[in-house]
Structure 1
Amino acid sequence: MEGDKRPDKLRVAVLGCGSVGSQVVRLLQEQAGDLAARVGVPVELAGVAVRRLDAPREVEVPADLLTTDAVGLVSRDDVDLVVEVIGGIEPARSLILTALENGASVVSANKALLAEDGPTLFEAAEKAGRDLYYEAAVAGAIPILRPLRESLAGDRVTRVLGIVNGTTNFILDKMDTSGAGFTEALEEAQELGYAEADPTADVEGFDAAAKAAILASLAFHSRVTASDVYREGISEVTAADVQSARDMGAVVKLLAICELREGEGGEEAVAVRVHPAMIPRSHPLASVREAYNAVFVESEAAGQLMFYGPGAGGSPTASAVLGDLVTVARNRLAGTRGAGESAYADRAVLPMGETRTRYHVAIDVDDRAGVLAAVATAFAEHGVSIQTVRQEGRDDDAQLVVVSHESTDAQLSATVAHLRDMEIVREVTSIMRVEGEHE
């Protein structure tokens, strides 16, 4: 890049003009003066690639800037920066690779692509000597990726615990505050625009799993893909689960959990999972309401940090995109590039069965002498220690609620399978992991 001549302006191509892309275009137009001052030269729109020229848009875009030829746009010699906000795997991957090959720096909000095939993109950026920034891919407007990549680069991050999907947080919050069931809370989320007509990506945890992979990769300097992340959604969470959490002073949240654990041979490994869990109401994440996101980071020197704010939406996400755009534009002018992929640690990813966690188990049992002892024995036979146990109801409504100490997930799963085979157990009605307290 040493031979690059300093330009008198930088031109930006935007791929996609939906809720995020339209707000990126708006901010580029409305804040042109401030952006020029912050970057050092004017930042101009070179074009906006869309699927349909006649589609209704939130922001008016000059007709001469709109094009359906995305490949042609990113291949232009006068495009210095490319913003990709179309999402999905293809054609986004091919367009980003083409942009980098043609000398443009790239800003993306594409969590699915980065979590599936980030290394290919990072290698292309490295080869081209250009930037690939993606703050907007996780938690909307909340600055979390750059702190992990830069601010905490001199520290050792040991755990990242986050609420990174606003749809599921809204649903679980409504279930907690109103006593609604999952279906009722989902319908309200859809009516208010927090959930899509097909909410599968959100409620089954796919969206959060992609974000967890990105967070773990940055935090632990290892390549983690979405397929490495253990995933459970919230569609099986019942009003009874939420009430049981309330009874023990906890709340149910869908958590993305990334942590360093001891793996095979005593070496450090990465554990990454997404699932609903009970956390104490005293935990900072318990107070994250409605569609907001928050990420809780634990590191050796800095201690505990929490990043909180709107995790989705056109304007908040566009804010993160523009922040990255200013950075890569400055780098372009200076003839430098920011930090690329950091995967030097190359830690293995632990299987879920080897991950250590705690369980909350509700068991419908026969109300007779010896039941508690038999249940305790079942836990002990699988090497699982019981932290608390309480009985609720009598006769046909008798129920034991057990919270375990930390054990491997495989031990806990085997315990639950054992309980289901016991004559005294009518049904294991609820199983949920417990987080937020370390032993």
Structure 2
Amino acid sequence: MPDRLRVAVLGCGSVGSQVVRLLDEQADDLAARVGAPVELAGVAVRRLEAPREVEVPDGLLTTDATALVTRDDVDLVIEVIGGIEPARSLILAALESGKSVVTANKALLAEDGPTLFEAAEKVGRDLYYEAAVAGAIPILRPLRESLAGDRVTRVLGIVNGTTNFILDRMDTSGAGFTEALEEAQELGYAEADPTADVEGFDAAAKAAILASLAFHSRVTANDVHREGISDVTAADVASARDMNSVVKLLAICELRDGVGGDDAVSVRVHPAMIPRSHPLASVREAYNAVFVESEAAGQLMFYGPGAGGAPTASAVLGDLVTVARNRLADTRGAGESAYADRAVLPMGETVTRYHVAIDVDDRAGVLASVATAFAEHGVSIQTVRQEGRGADAQLVVVSHESTDAQLAATVETLRGMPAVREVTSVMRVEGVAE
């Protein structure tokens, strides 16, 4: 048994710098929890002279990441540089040289997780990634371990703090999307290029990871239906408010009936209206929350800061303690669980509900013709209300559950009707019992 464990850190940005800080400040506690001292062996960076949030001890910075992760005196590797390459090559090099790995790299796991898991399995080492989905919120370990004896049926989450902040501002202040985005950027919640967040790419990667764990099947980011929030308008948010609902960007992972009655996986990310009575509706600002439904445990919710250097570093260090203990005991934790191998449903077969706002001519028979368009595609109407008169007449229709393909076809039919001037808003509705 080694008398100490040495850790290599890849990246020293907002998360990496906090990992380095915590390794130093909590050294005694970490040693007690692990069973041996945990020492920093080196920190790989792109530029030695770049400013950093913490001071790295002399001699530990290097630009040769490959040499660092393959050194004989390194036992564990923490990867927090993000992106696909060189992260993938470095993680594989670390595993192939016998290191256990902790990563926060959601994009890589969602794109090529199986390759990494297979490499870890081959050498009998750990690959842990709690920080990849929701910052400090412990959600992956409960799915992988605490609920291992249960059957998870649905995971519904707010997993991107930037979009939640924007939608929250639109709801509470009446701001438009552009105005709320600019505020998020001023406060540091949104990047100068916010595309990954506002167009749903970040949330889609996290949804793929959640679905893979919850349903024991391989799900990649390419399997996730993705829509962002850039088309959400102040009118959409106001309409939700009229229904006593809020608009949230949701990651939705659920089991549905597939071909032949077998379970299939539905995974999607899109804005949706949810009632204010739903637990996720109260998630404000840049916070994250994940709502889990299972057969035995029922409904569970995990809530907290979903990003930021220190919260994410907290999750990284939690994984580090686990893999370090396993290393001392010469064992490994749970690896990939993909035994169920469930198919992923295309979005058109996913069952959902729609809220549709339609500008119409204010004349007799319009409501009947709109109802007929829904009926022709097999979509049942739950509620309908008319607002305004004359040139300002609008119908707001909320459907019962139907397949997304049926609902999309209904909207296309509405857009071609002479009495319909414009379909001004189409948004899915979640969290309401049928």
What TM-score comes out, normalization by structure 1 length? 0.98
Alpha-carbon separation, structure 1, partners of 2:169 and 2:88: 37
Aligned: 1:283 with 2:278: yes
What do the CA deviations read for 1:30-61 (whole angstroms, capped 9, x no partner)? 00000000000000000000000000000000
Deviation of the 1:63 alpha carbon: 2.7
What do the CA deviations read for 1:1-39 (whole angstroms, capped 9, x no partner)? xxxxxx000000000000000000000000000000000
What do the CA deviations read for 1:293-315 (whole angstroms, capped 9, x no partner)? 00000000000000000000000
What do the CA deviations read for 1:272-322 (whole angstroms, capped 9, x no partner)? 000000000000000000000000000000000000000000000000000
After the TM superposition, which parts of structure 1 deviate over 6 Å for at least 4 consecutive aligned residues? none
Q: Secondary structure at the match of 1:390?
A: strand
Aligned: 1:83 with 2:78: yes
What do the CA deviations read for 1:387-422 (whole angstroms, capped 9, x no partner)? 000000000000000000000000000000000000
Superposed CA RMSD in Å reads 0.4
Aligned: 1:231 with 2:199: no
Alpha-carbon separation, structure 2, partners of 1:31 and 1:205: 36
Q: Secondary structure at the match of 2:33?
A: helix
What do the CA deviations read for 1:88-110 (whole angstroms, capped 9, x no partner)? 00000000000001110000000
Alpha-carbon separation, structure 2, partners of 1:32 and 1:246: 50
Alpha-carbon separation, structure 1, partners of 2:34 and 2:259: 48
What do the CA deviations read for 1:359-402 (whole angstroms, capped 9, x no partner)? 00000000011111110000000000000000000000000000
Deviation of the 1:438 alpha carbon: 2.8
What TM-score comes out, normalization by structure 2 length? 1.00
Alpha-carbon separation, structure 2, partners of 1:370 and 1:227: 44
Q: Which residue is 2:385 aligned to?
A: 390
Deviation of the 1:267 alpha carbon: 1.0
Deviation of the 1:265 alpha carbon: 1.5
Alpha-carbon separation, structure 2, partners of 1:63 and 1:251: 51
Alpha-carbon separation, structure 2, partners of 1:314 and 1:59: 12
What do the CA deviations read for 1:317-346 (whole angstroms, capped 9, x no partner)? 000000000000000001110000000000
Alpha-carbon separation, structure 2, partners of 1:296 and 1:262: 21
What do the CA deviations read for 1:417-436 (whole angstroms, capped 9, x no partner)? 00000000000000000000
Aligned: 1:369 with 2:367: no
From 265, 268, 272, the counterpart of 1:273: 268
Structure 1 gap segments, 5+ residues each:
1-6
What do the CA deviations read for 1:219-250 (whole angstroms, capped 9, x no partner)? 00000000000000000000000000000010
Q: Which residue is 1:55 aligned to?
A: 50
Q: Map 1:277-426; keep pairs closer than 5 Å.
A: 277-426=272-421
The total of aligned residue pairs comes to 433
Q: Secondary structure at the match of 2:359?
A: strand
Alpha-carbon separation, structure 2, partners of 1:60 and 1:144: 31
Q: Map 1:145-164; keep pairs closer than 5 Å.
A: 145-164=140-159
From 39, 42, 61, the counterpart of 1:66: 61
Q: Map 1:9-28; keep pairs closer than 5 Å.
A: 9-28=4-23
Alpha-carbon separation, structure 2, partners of 1:63 and 1:92: 25
Alpha-carbon separation, structure 2, partners of 1:153 and 1:332: 23
How many percent identity over aligned positions? 90
Alpha-carbon separation, structure 1, partners of 2:247 and 2:78: 36
Deviation of the 1:437 alpha carbon: 1.4
Alpha-carbon separation, structure 1, partners of 2:118 and 2:433: 38
